[in-house]
Amino acid sequence: MKLLTLFALVLLAQPAFADPLPRPDHIVLVIEENKAFQQIIGSQNAPYINSLSQRGMLFTESYGVTHPSQPNYIALFSGSTHNITNDSCLLELKGDNLATSLISHNFSFASFSETMPEASYLGCMFGSYMRKHNPLSNWLELAKFNQPFSAFPQDFTKLPTVSLVVPNQQDDMHDGTIEQGDAWLSKNLEQYAQWALTNNSLLIVTWDEDNGSSANHIATIFVGGMIKSGKSSQHINHYTILRTISDIYGLPYIGSSASELSITDVWRSPVLKH
């Protein structure tokens, strides 16, 4: 009886999906700022983003986990807000996160922040760059993976396994307009988006939080050769995305992502085996 109970507990600890998820060679995760779902989807001010949603999968029930900005970024990166409730600078955090999990399992990670003046920069701000939007910078041991956006590879085969892309506050819709953020994505990510559709790569575009008007309802879009086109009504949040990336690469679940269900209904069939 004890052996049967132990076996049952082991089964419950396994991932909840029956089929393996595809394993992209690269994931590029872009985070935009402070706009509700209805401000973006269907808006004439965001023609490029809406074209992405038509080429990939639009999640119609995607939500930030809290307010303000900084704890959302940290939650997506580490599975926890670490009890942070503000945008204060010069945090020094410890514990598991997406970068350390990938690296310890022989994958790679880098964060690419627009306008950051140099690699490994730890200042609170530089022009329109804000450290509060760059969660990796709060783990000091990860400094060498903290890169300016100018280091984003133009040869996409040289991308890390997972890349975090953080536009500056003018181009992420925080201080600039929706049109400006939309144009930045078109200029800087469209070439990669096209490449991802014909290669084993995945683009994720999401927002940190809404504008305070819609229960933190935000847009999230997946685009890649392994992604169906259409709409998904699965309820997801930042922890769901982290959980899904962990399942894709066979990583341990980090923090609150362990309580989420992976995204399983958006992949083309048959999936890539690994």
**Position 250 in a domain:** yes
Q: Which of 9-18, 26-35, 44-53 has the lowest mean pLDDT?
A: 9-18
Segment 164-188 mean pLDDT: 98
Counted domains in the chain: 1
Cα separation, 32 vs 74, in Å, equals: 14
Domain span at 39: 24-259
Which range is least confidently modeled, 134-143, 215-224, 260-269? 260-269
Taking the C-alpha atoms of residue 219 and residue 213, their distance in angstroms, rounded to an integer, is 14
72 domain residue, yes or no = yes
Question: Is 266 contained in some domain?
Answer: no
- Mean pLDDT throughout 91-108? 97
Residues 6+ apart with CB under 8 A from 179: 45, 46
Strand 201-207, strand 217-223: pairing: antiparallel
Predicted pLDDT of residue 20:
83
Query: Measured between alpha carbons, how far is 116 from 120 in angstroms, rounded to an integer?
Result: 9
- Quote the pLDDT of residue 240: 98
The angle at the Cα of 217, spanning 215 to 223, to the nearest 5 degrees, equals: 170
- Rama region for 117: left / alpha / beta (φ>0; ψ in -120 to 50; rest): alpha
* Residue 236 placed within a domain: yes
- Would you say how long the chain is, in residues? 274
Whole-number Å distance between alpha carbons of 55 and 226: 12
- Is 140 a member of any domain? yes
Is residue 97 situated within a structural domain? yes
CA-based nearest residue to 216, from 56, 76, 68, 78: 68
- Condensed to tens digits (0 to 9), the pLDDT of residues 33-44 reads 999 999 999 999
The two beta strands, 162-166 and 109-113, are parallel
Q: Do the domain assignments include residue 1?
A: no
Provide the CATH number for the domain around residue 54.
3.40.720.10
185 within domain boundaries: yes
- Average predicted confidence (pLDDT) for the chain: 93
Q: Any residues with CB less than 8 A from the CB of 60 and at least 6 apart, and which?
A: 37, 231, 232, 233
pLDDT band at 19 (very low <50, low <70, confident <90, very high): low
